[in-house]
Amino acid sequence: MPKIVADEPVKVASVEGVTEYRLANGARVLLFPEASKPTITVNMTVLVGSRHEGYGEAGMAHLLEHMVFKGTARRTAEDVNREFDELGAHYNAFTSEESTVYYAS
């Protein structure tokens, strides 16, 4: 099987200690170093929320948020939970009108 190598992220800007990178798939990555904390927090924000639901789709954004924790074709729900637990991470998600946010600390 060929090895998959991701393209290097491209540095876009750095302002007041916050650095923005762009991935090859168009995703934006913002790094906010916080040296006073012994942990890290990863936050993934998808700019789609309940406002983007069409007629007859009420609750779909929230349902999809929950489905992420139900597993994938490669990882069962138990795998997802175990992997976070092995890292000692607390994780959750929420959906607003404008976005869906997943986070782990």
- Nearest CA-CA partner of 63 in 92, 95, 104, 101: 95
Q: Which of 65, 86, 97, 98 is catalytic?
A: 65
Strand, helix or coil for residue 70: helix
53 catalytic per annotation? no
pTM value? 0.77
State the pLDDT at residue 86. 95
Report all structural domains of the chain as residue ranges with CATH numbers, in order of start: 1-33 (no CATH), 39-104 (3.30.830.10)
Which tens digits make up the pLDDT trace of 27-53?
888 988 888 988 888 898 999 999 999
Distances (CA, A) of 18 to 11, 36, 39, 54, 62: 11, 15, 17, 36, 30
Residue 57 has pLDDT above 60, yes or no: yes
Q: Confidence class of residue 5 from pLDDT cuts 50, 70 and 90?
A: low
Q: How many Å apart are CA 22 and CA 41, to the nearest integer?
A: 19
- Nearest CA-CA partner of 67 in 105, 41, 102, 96: 102
Which tens digits make up the pLDDT trace of 71-97?
889 999 999 999 999 999 999 999 999
- Nearest CA-CA partner of 71 in 80, 63, 62: 80
**DSSP H helix total and E strand total for the chain:** 2, 6
